[in-house]
């Protein structure tokens, strides 16, 4: 098979398209088909990658939860739970469990709490399910994504 | 008296060798064109980072007697028959001849892609893989324009006929990706480098003017107003695996696309790995800027009067515009199809971003969408097809190189 393909000869040897009408059409069809096939393969791969990552994240999360419950059961010296004015613990929704976002929100609240002297603890982070954005909101997002 | 004679003869020699006495009308016209391009770059800000060095290179190469660039070394009869004599280039060539080796040997475009990879966030594409289809659809402009350029050869008029290789290089303008166009043209039609590069970069700058009318003509108000759902968060793990996997998949199928796709993905891996910040900074700033200066100047230098002032240049400019329009239209049309198939969840405007031109084309999708619905934010959705277009045009260039490059 390899030899057969190898010996098929050059693809298009003519210089002038008028001398090779079928070569012209073949190029268009081959080009479009190959580009679509390769990008479709990438689509398939990205879906698989998404699924695999979700699976891995679930396993990692389950392991972390297990560790946490184990640690909670064991008597440990309390390292401090800052008395909270408006209490709580990190608990993000499954699909919003992005450590970077949590870190950013925590940092913003820490900066805010430094100003008013109170201590806050994040209990839950939930995305607000609004479909539309106010003009101020749009302006803010636009400003932040302008580099793109 | 002898001193006076030497002085007079020297002055006479300087005057005889000066550009004022040796200039031809076509060189003068090329100088005027270069001034016009400089005006567009500086005053109108049309892709100034590349158009300015291109225009200046064009000016340098057309100054009579300066001998800054020798096209005969690369495209003369000897070079075509026996291949480029690199020894001659190094011994007899000047600055621009030696810099041109970076184009001829296809070194500069992949290095530009390295910088682009460092600056590109493929997150929107990974979050919504379907946008790759839009990136593929927009490449239809490349092949349809190739077809159009080939058709001209059926007229039998030599002045308007293009060879297969020239037609392929013209078609790639539709990919809206300057480095890819230069990469392919340097391999297939180096004679046409100047006109194709100028056309490609000019149209990239004109994306905000060219695309909106086509996008509006092909979509309804209802379609343009579609608010798309928020994209999922993409994990760091996915972003690191993506460039490695894309390189392996694309390079295994189309090895000819490897220089472009490979360097694009290397840059992206630098960025996403988070462990080589210094390399990222260098690749996307200093290296990219140095290559841009060299690439732009030398590409402009290839636009000599005899190569540029032809009917074919006008046709290339016209076909380049057609390529852009067709790429935009095919992206929007596939977007419309996706709109129908998903029950109105996809805004067809993001399809036009499938022609690469990162990030200008995505901004245009955002701009047109926000005119219908000011609270609609399509930018990140359009970035998916936009970066998919970069991969798509590199793959298309690889396919054309595979067919005609041998």
Q: What is the DSSP letter of B374?
A: T
- Of the candidates B2, B383, B396, B362, the one whose C-alpha atom is nearest the C-alpha of residue B169 is B396
C-alpha separations of B141 from A20, A81, A142 in Å: 21, 62, 30
Residues A88 and A60 in one domain: no
Between chain A and chain B, the number of residue pairs with CB atoms below 8 A apart is: 149
Residue A47, in any domain of the structure: yes
Residues 6+ apart with CB under 8 A from B33: B58, B308
Instruction: Examine the pLDDT at B170 and tell me if it is beyond 90.
Output: yes
CB contact under 8 A, A42 and B249: yes
The pLDDT tens digits for A70-107 are 887 765 554 444 444 444 444 444 455 577 788 888 88
- Give the chain A residue nearest B150 (alpha carbons): A17
pLDDT score at A6: 62
Tell me which of B175 and A82 has the higher pLDDT: B175
Alpha carbon of A11: minimum distance to chain B alpha carbons (Å): 6
Hey, how many other C-beta atoms are within 10 angstroms of the C-beta on A143? 8
Alpha carbon of B213: minimum distance to chain A alpha carbons (Å): 23
CB contact under 8 A, A148 and B362: yes
Residues A28 and A72 in one domain: yes
Instruction: Examine the pLDDT at B53 and tell me if it is beyond 90.
Output: yes
Burial class from Cβ neighbours inside 10 Å (0-12, 13-18, 19+) for residue B29 reads middle
Instruction: Examine the pLDDT at B166 and tell me if it is beyond 90.
Output: yes
The pLDDT tens digits for A104-118 are 888 888 877 776 777
- Of the candidates B201, B183, B185, the one whose C-alpha atom is nearest the C-alpha of residue B45 is B201
CB contact under 8 A, A101 and B135: no
Residues of B in contact with A145 (CB under 8 A): 379-380
Residues A32 and A68 in one domain: yes
- Of the candidates B165, B245, B219, B379, the one whose C-alpha atom is nearest the C-alpha of residue A49 is B245
Residues A1 and A67 in one domain: yes
- Give the chain B residue nearest A43 (alpha carbons): B129
pLDDT score at B141: 93
Residues A62 and A11 in one domain: yes
Asked if B357 and B180 touch (Cβ cutoff 8 Å), the reply is no
pLDDT score at B335: 96
The count of domains in chain A is: 2
pLDDT score at B356: 83
Tell me which residue range forms the domain holding A87. Answer: 78-129
Rounded Cα distance, B301 and B294, in Å:
11
Residue A142, in any domain of the structure: no
Residue A138, in any domain of the structure: no
The pLDDT tens digits for B340-379 are 999 999 999 999 999 988 888 999 999 999 998 888 889 9
Residue A148, in any domain of the structure: no
Token pair listed for B278: 């210094």
Residue A146, in any domain of the structure: no
The pLDDT tens digits for A41-53 are 999 999 999 999 8
Residues A104 and A48 in one domain: no
The pLDDT tens digits for B89-104 are 999 998 999 999 999 8
Tell me which of B155 and A12 has the higher pLDDT: B155
Residues A18 and A85 in one domain: no
Residues A91 and A24 in one domain: no
The pLDDT tens digits for A57-72 are 888 888 888 888 888 7
B66 touching A, CB under 8 A? no
Percent of chain B scoring above 70 in pLDDT? 100
Residues of A in contact with B402 (CB under 8 A): 11
- Domain ranges in chain B? 108-404
Rounded Cα distance, B327 and B136, in Å:
10
- Looking only at Cα atoms, what is the longest distance across chain B? 95
CB contact under 8 A, B237 and A42: no
Alpha carbon of B84: minimum distance to chain A alpha carbons (Å): 20
Task: Give the position of tokens 């946008």.
Answer: B131
Residues A89 and A30 in one domain: no
Rounded Cα distance, B165 and A17, in Å:
10
pLDDT score at A66: 87
Q: Mutate which of B132, B230, B383 to disrupt the A interface (most A C-beta within 10 Å)?
A: B132
- Give the chain A residue nearest B387 (alpha carbons): A148
Rounded Cα distance, B258 and B251, in Å:
5
Q: Choose the closest CB to B254 out of A32, A38, A53.
A: A38
């Amino acid at each position: 098979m390899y030899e057969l393909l190898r010996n098929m000869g050059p693809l298009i040897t003519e210089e002038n398209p008028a001398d090779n009408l079928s070569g012209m059409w073949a190029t268009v069809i081959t080009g479009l088909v190959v580009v679509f096939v390769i990008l479709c393969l990438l689509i398939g791969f990205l879906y698989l990658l998404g699924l695999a990552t979700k699976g891995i994240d679930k396993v990692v999360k389950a392991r972390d939860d297990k560790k946490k419950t184990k640690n909670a059961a064991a008597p440990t010296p309390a390292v401090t739970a800052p008395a909270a004015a408006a209490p709580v613990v990190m608990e993000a929704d499954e699909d919003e469990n992005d450590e970077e976002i949590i870190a950013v929100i925590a940092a913003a609240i820490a900066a805010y709490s430094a100003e008013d002297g109170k201590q806050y603890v994040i209990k839950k982070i939930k995305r607000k399910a609004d479909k539309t954005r106010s003009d101020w909101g749009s302006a803010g997002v636009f400003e932040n994504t302008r580099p793109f | 008296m002898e001193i006076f004679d030497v002085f007079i003869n020297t002055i006479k020699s300087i005057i005889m060798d000066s550009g004022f006495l040796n200039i031809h009308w076509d060189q003068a016209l090329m100088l005027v064109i270069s001034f016009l391009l400089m005006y567009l770059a500086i005053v109108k800000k049309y892709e100034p980072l590349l158009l300015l060095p291109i225009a200046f290179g064009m000016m340098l190469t057309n100054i009579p007697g300066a001998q800054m660039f020798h096209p005969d070394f690369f495209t003369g009869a000897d070079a075509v028959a026996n291949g480029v004599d690199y020894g001659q280039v190094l011994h007899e060539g000047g600055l621009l001849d030696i810099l041109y080796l970076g184009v001829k040997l296809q070194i500069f475009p992949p290095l530009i892609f390295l910088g682009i990879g460092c600056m590109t966030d493929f997150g929107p594409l990974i979050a919504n893989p379907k946008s790759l289809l839009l990136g593929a659809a927009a490449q239809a402009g490349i092949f349809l324009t190739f077809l159009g350029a080939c058709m001209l050869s059926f007229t039998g008029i030599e002045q308007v006929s293009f060879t297969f290789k020239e037609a392929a290089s013209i078609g790639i303008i539709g990919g809206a990706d300057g480095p890819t166009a230069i990469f392919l043209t340097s391999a297939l039609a180096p004679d046409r480098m100047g006109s194709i590069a100028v056309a490609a970069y000019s149209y990239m700058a004109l994306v905000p003017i060219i695309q909106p009318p086509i996008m509006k003509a092909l979509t309804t108000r209802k379609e343009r107003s579609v608010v798309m759902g928020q994209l999922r968060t993409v994990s760091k793990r996915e972003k690191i695996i993506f460039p490695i996997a894309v390189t392996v998949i694309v390079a295994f199928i189309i090895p000819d696309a490897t220089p472009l796709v490979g360097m694009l993905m290397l840059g992206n891996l630098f960025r996403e790995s988070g462990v080589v910040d210094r390399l990222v900074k260098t690749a996307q700033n200093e290296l990219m800027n140095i290559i841009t200066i060299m690439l732009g100047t030398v590409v402009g230098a290839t636009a000599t009067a005899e190569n540029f002032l032809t009917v074919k240049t006008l046709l290339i400019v016209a076909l380049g515009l057609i390529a852009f329009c067709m790429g935009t239209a095919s992206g929007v049309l596939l977007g419309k199809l996706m709109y129908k198939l998903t029950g109105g969840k996809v805004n067809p405007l993001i399809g036009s971003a499938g022609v690469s031109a990162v990030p200008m084309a995505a901004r245009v999708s955002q701009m047109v969408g926000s005119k219908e619905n000011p609270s609609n934010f399509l930018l990140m959705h359009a970035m998916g097809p936009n970066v998919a277009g970069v991969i798509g045009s590199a793959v298309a260039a690889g396919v054309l190189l595979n067919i005609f490059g041998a």
